[in-house]
A and B are shown apart, each in its own frame.
Chain A
Amino acid sequence: MAQLLQILAATQKCCSLRVTFLLIALIMIFFSYKSYLYPRSQKPESTQADVNLTVREHRGLQSVKLSRMLYRQPQVLTPARKDVLVVTPWLAPIIWEGTFNTDILNEQFSLRNATIGLTVFSIKTYMIFLKQFLQSAEMYFMVGHRVIYYIFTDKPEYVPYLNIQKGRQIIILEVESYYDHWQDISMQRMEMISNFCQERFHQEVDYLVCSDVDMRFSDHVGVEILSSLFGTLHPGYYGLNRTDFPYERRPQSQAHIPKDEGDFYYIGALFGGSVPEVYKLTKACHEAIMVDQANHIEAIWHDESHLNKYLLYHKPSKVLSPEYLWQQQQMDHMHDQEMIFSKIIRRKKLKVLKKNYQLKNWIEEGSGLRLF
């Protein structure tokens, strides 16, 4: 500082230097001010996690005036379902058949003119599931609404060609999968979804639904699932005590949940919400996975464990019942309780496909298929 003063004091060109300094200072102030006015941080979309609405929905509500509709009167003294919980302790609806009127919801939703993105990872051998997934989605997923299928794949040339209905499109996102093990591929999804949330999803869609690819739709999956943040009850655990949930139990992991905590066990294969909320979730899970990796620990159920940790502390604004993700294989093992399950589960909307282990013989990379 003192040297600078000496140098400046000694020069005969101090006037022009002063002007230069003043200009530089003014420029710095100008850019600082500008960045304050127009921050480039994440778009500040509010999320009202109290009820299933984001500010975008919020604004949409203002112009939503329903037209005349005829339907049976809801009966205050008659619950829609007597056998299951339909609302969580934090007043998020649990979506079961019988709890909602599709026509009203569709009418509300179409007036908002929103678009739903469906992300699916079709990497390495999982490409074989993609065609059936998309074909069944065309039949059952958000029919009548605007949909973009985001297919993350390492082999874009293998993505099957399909006739897609009007108002829907497929976007192929080529990604490099540098992992061989399905567990790592599974966890990499969190990073990729969070990256693309920033890069494009926030501009192209209002909601994101993140699904596994080894599934097929077998019944209506519509706008009833949409809210700021939703998770799905794992079909294998919804009747159990929290002490039996397969949470990560080692305190060293970021996904750790103690035995006296936990609302539900959510399945990693189907979650979603508004783009800002999905971004927050996937970013948080990815970061937690990285921390675990640095500490040489891997959560017991990988991204699913981290998802459960996140949804415990950031409660979803809707929860999907196990109707939304069914695994017959798992249920086959539970013969005694089969009758109860079939009564409770009235419809099975997304079914996990049975894996044919003979496929292993001609699988290129030799990576195993996930077993439930």
Chain B
Amino acid sequence: MAGMRRAPAGKTKCCSLHTVTFLLVTLFLVLSGTGFRILGNSMLGSRQAGVGKRGELDGLQAVEPSRMVYGQPKVLTPCRSDVLVLTPWLAPVVWEGTFNTDVLNEQFRLWNATIGLTVFAIRKYMVFLELFLQTAEKYFMVGHRVTYYVFTDRPADVPHVPLREGRRVEVLKVPGALSWQEVSMHRMEMISNFSQQRFLREVDYLVCMDVDMKFCDHVGVEILSPRFGTLHPGFYGAAREAFTYERRPQSQAYIPRDEGDFYYAGGFFGGSVVEVLQLTTACHQAMVVDQANGLEAVWHDESHLNRYLLDHKPTKVLSPEYLWDRQKLGWPPVMKKLRFVAVPKGHLDIRGS
């Protein structure tokens, strides 16, 4: 210490200037490194709160759930005595009366996830898009973050629909010169491609729906799970032998008469992005194989969806409330709500063009 005080006075000034600069730079580097770490930790913290890496929900809650008051669930009183509400592999079958929207919304709020909705408005099917989006704004995942992915060959014709906060429309241009069967089949390929390219980064769940429909009642977070399918409204009461599975063994979509849980509708399926990517990729590949063998499954992508969901059982199944055709099927008492219904149209007019 004593030796240090005997530095010559002349050198003191330039040394001190360099030293001050040097120290400041050092301090800055150190602090930014530490700050980087603090920032990193808080990002971890927010990941733990559920923002997280897309494709994987982190359920570790940094936000504590709040007190809720609601009717007590009664163990000795089934919520529905007329329908199956649980599959043999313990996936819930979602019917009105089985769930409490408030409790589910509260759970979901804590995860802070985003839902992507894919819809194909190609060629004349564009005419359905406006009503679809308008009714979605009223009934679909209200209060949660939503991105509508509109696949279309006519981006300029996409109608402007006023959107609630936290919701947006992304228009994805795709080729259009295809028949409706080809459009239907190509959906799998396109969803698979875009899942990899962007959906994985942008949303947590994907919901894939037909466009020629409208929402008329609540469709909320009760549907969300890693992988879900919807019971086709035309077959929920039928024996499996009557399901319109692909029955030719040469097809990749083939299902024998003694197999099959349900007949799922091609117009409403979804799950986590990772699972939807897996499903759409598998279906697309199966369709390519069929095509190479000069085959096309009887109900196109729906046939392949059914094969896939037989082998990879869904973690939730939506009741036909979630995909209905009032014109063809009326309103039977077992349907307490009709949530997502076909828009009446000249079937051949649209599909023939």
Binding site for B on A (CB under 8 A): 4-5, 7-12, 14, 18, 21-22, 25-26, 28-30, 32-33, 35-36, 39, 41-42, 44, 46-53, 55, 58, 61-62, 64-66, 68-71, 73-91, 93-95, 99-101, 104-105, 108, 224, 228, 233, 238-239, 241-242, 260-264, 276, 280, 313-315, 318, 344
- Chain B positions within 8 Å of A, measured between CB atoms, are 4-7, 11-12, 15-16, 18-20, 22-23, 26, 29-30, 32-34, 36-37, 40-41, 44, 47-48, 52, 56-61, 64-65, 67-70, 72-94, 98-100, 103-104, 107-108, 111, 221-222, 224-227, 231, 236-237, 239-240, 258-262, 272, 274-275, 278, 310-313, 315-316, 334
Please state if B86 and A280 are interface contacts (CB–CB under 8 Å).
Answer: no
B60 and A9 within 8 A (CB): no
- Whether A32 pairs with B36 at a CB distance below 8 angstroms is yes
Q: What 5 A-B pairs are tightest by C-beta distance, nearest first?
A: A29-B33, A36-B40, A89-B100, A101-B88, A47-B59
Q: Which residues of A contact B334 (CB under 8 A)?
A: 77
Cα separation A314 to B107 with both chains bound (whole Å): 9
List A contacts of B82 (CB < 8 A). Answer: 77, 79
- Asked if B73 and A76 make an inter-chain contact with CB atoms under 8 angstroms apart, the answer reads no
Q: Are A53 and B315 in contact (CB under 8 A)?
A: yes
Contact yes or no, A89 B70, CB < 8 A: yes
Q: Considering the chains assembled together, what is the distance between the CA atoms of A53 and B75 in angstroms?
A: 24
Nearest A residue to B222 via CB reads A91
25 chain-A/chain-B pairs, Cβ below 8 angstroms: A9-B7, A9-B16, A10-B5, A14-B18, A21-B22, A22-B26, A36-B37, A44-B58, A48-B57, A48-B225, A50-B111, A61-B275, A66-B310, A70-B258, A73-B240, A76-B93, A80-B86, A80-B88, A89-B70, A89-B100, A93-B86, A99-B90, A108-B89, A314-B61, A315-B107
Q: How far is the CB of B54 from chain A (nearest CB, A)?
A: 12
Task: Give the chain A neighbours of B100 by CB distance below 8 A.
Answer: 89-90
> Are A85 and B88 also in contact (CB < 8 A) when A47-B59, A48-B226, A70-B259 are?
no
Alpha-carbon distance between A84 and B86 when the two chains are bound, in angstroms: 12
Is B274's CB under 8 angstroms from A48's CB? no
Please name all residues of chain A whose beta carbon is closer than 8 Å to the beta carbon of B73 when the two chains form the complex.
85, 88-89, 263-264
In the assembled complex, how far is the CB of residue B224 from the closest CB belonging to chain A, in whole angstroms?
Answer: 6
Q: Beyond A32-B37, A48-B57: 15 further Cβ-contacts under 8 Å?
A: A9-B16, A12-B7, A35-B37, A35-B40, A39-B41, A47-B58, A51-B225, A73-B239, A76-B84, A77-B83, A85-B74, A95-B90, A104-B88, A261-B69, A263-B72
Determine the distance from Cα of A104 to Cα of B87 in the docked complex, in whole angstroms.
Answer: 11
Query: Complex: how many Å from CA A260 to CA B71?
Result: 9
Instruction: Please tell me which one of the listed residues B60, B85, B99 contacts residue A79 in the complex, with CB atoms under 8 A apart.
Output: B85
Contact B78 A81 (CB under 8 A): yes
Chain A nearest CB: distance from B138 CB in Å?
23
Question: For chain A, what secondary structure do more than half of its interface residues adopt (helix, strand, loop), or is it mixed?
Answer: loop
Q: When the two chains form their complex, are residues B103 and A90 in contact, meaning their CB atoms are under 8 A apart?
A: yes
Residues of B within 8 A of A313 (CB): 64-65
User: Within the complex, which residue of B64, B76, B236, B310 is in contact with A344, where a contact is CB–CB below 8 Å?
Assistant: B76
Q: Measured between alpha carbons, how far is A326 from B29 in the docked complex, in Å?
A: 64
> CA A195 – CA B26 in complex, angstroms?
40
Write out the residue numbers on chain B whose beta carbons fall within 8 Å of the beta carbon of A44.
44, 47-48, 58, 60
Taking the closest CB of chain B, its distance from the CB of A370, in whole angstroms, is 24
Given A44-B58, A77-B237, residue A100 in contact with residue B88 (CB < 8 A)? yes
Evaluate contact between B41 and A36: CB separation under 8 angstroms.
yes
Smallest CB separation, B245 vs chain A (Å): 12
Query: Are A66 and B259 neighbours in the complex by a CB distance under 8 Å?
Result: no
A104 partner, pick from B16, B65, B312, B313, beta carbons under 8 A: B313
Given contacts A25-B26, A49-B59, contact A85 B275 (CB under 8 A): no
